[in-house]
Amino acid sequence: MAYRISRSSFKIILILFAIGFSSCSNNKPYTDLNMVDFKIDTLIFKPEHDIIELGDDGEYLAFSAISKNAPTYSIFNLEKRYLYTLDLKTKKLLSKLEMSDEGPDGIGDWIIDFQMINDSSFMVQGDKVFYSFNKEGKRTNRVRLDHHFYLNPDLDRKFPNTGFLYKDKQFHFSTVKMGTNESEVLSYDPEIDTIYFREIPFVDLIKNSSVITLVESFTFYSSPAFVISDFPGGFLIVNRGMPNMTAYLTNGDTVSTKPNSSKFFEDQESVEEIFRAKNEIEEKEFKRELEKRMNFLLPIVDEKNQKLFRLGYHLTSDGVSYKNYLFEYDADLNLTREILLDEIKLKPRKMFLKESTFYLAASFDDEPGLLIFENPFKK
């Protein structure tokens, strides 16, 4: 296994209204006149005798996980059903688990998501079914809920989205109605075989990122999925195309982001009509334009310090490089601080936080890699 590590360091000088590090308090922004010593380590895995298949533009890095207790990093290829495990210390590929479609340990023929539960087990989401496996690939459980979709009129023509969360013995995910922008949050308790529905407060904003494409006599609808993320005392619903977030707490309360004073993104208002593409070329052009708007990765929680972090990114005018930003929120989802990560030019795929260190997954010439840096907001 060959690898390379490069280190770059830079300093960001924070001056009033200059792009950089700012704080937001009670929606009244102010800028600290500070200097941040910000260093980035770049770790790139390069296997000698195996290829880690990351999909188009590193898409399967979005289905990766860093262990909380061990120095390992896992990547799941949804199409091939490969689970790669890499060692963060030796930078070696530890294992490649090839999973089958059928049989006692079969994973099915349609997989849409992956979640690492702990160092010895993981889950995958299929078509209205969830599978549990140990690290050797032996299936330990299967939870089906397709009977609810077939029998419940509220779920007629609805399908689960990618982006589930298994927490407190319940499955949380969003659904979408075929050919529409109708989405909602569904929670399933397998012990009592019961589903719960929750509305998404900002669901109408999905029209801004949706497209209807006409191909011959067929009409196709596509939009970024609403996905579920962890949150203390509950879970979050988010969408990569919008800054809005809502937390559903186990006590029945909800907490949502407020209109903010970010210098880097604006609050969205829903468009009246969904964009209609006459052909696939127009659809690709529209989605390319979406890349130039602010997009967001799944947020991550620092439970010790009661903070939530979300990384935003957008394609620059050169059509190749990206700008990346880090946003800090408090426990009430108030935007508190933000910073432009000026040295990071790649398209990010997923972010992790381990103690006070951030790990940002990205593709380096089709090789998996991690950008590693300390919390720039750490005092």
In 3D space, the residue among 18, 91, 79 whose CA is nearest the CA of residue 48 turns out to be: 91
Within a 13 Å sphere around the CA of 87, how many CA atoms are in the beta-carbon half?
11
Beta bridge partners of 313: 295, 324
d(CA 268, CA 199): 19
In 3D space, the residue among 322, 321, 372 whose CA is nearest the CA of residue 351 turns out to be: 372
Beta bridge partners of 370: 43, 361
Q: What is the pTM of this model?
A: 0.88
E strands, 181-256, are 183-189, 194-198, 211-215, 218-222, 226-231, 234-239, 242-249, 254-256
Q: Which residue has the tokens 């800090």?
A: 328
The per-residue pLDDT for 86 is 94
Tens-of-pLDDT digits for all 379 residues of the chain? 333 334 343 333 333 333 344 555 444 333 333 446 678 999 999 877 788 999 999 999 999 999 988 899 999 999 999 999 999 998 989 999 999 888 899 888 889 999 999 999 999 999 899 999 999 999 999 999 999 998 888 888 889 999 999 999 999 999 998 878 889 999 999 999 999 999 999 999 999 999 999 888 788 889 999 999 999 999 999 999 999 999 999 999 999 998 877 999 999 999 999 999 999 999 999 999 999 999 999 999 999 999 999 999 999 999 999 999 999 999 999 999 999 999 999 999 999 999 889 999 999 999 999 999 999 987 6
The per-residue pLDDT for 313 is 98
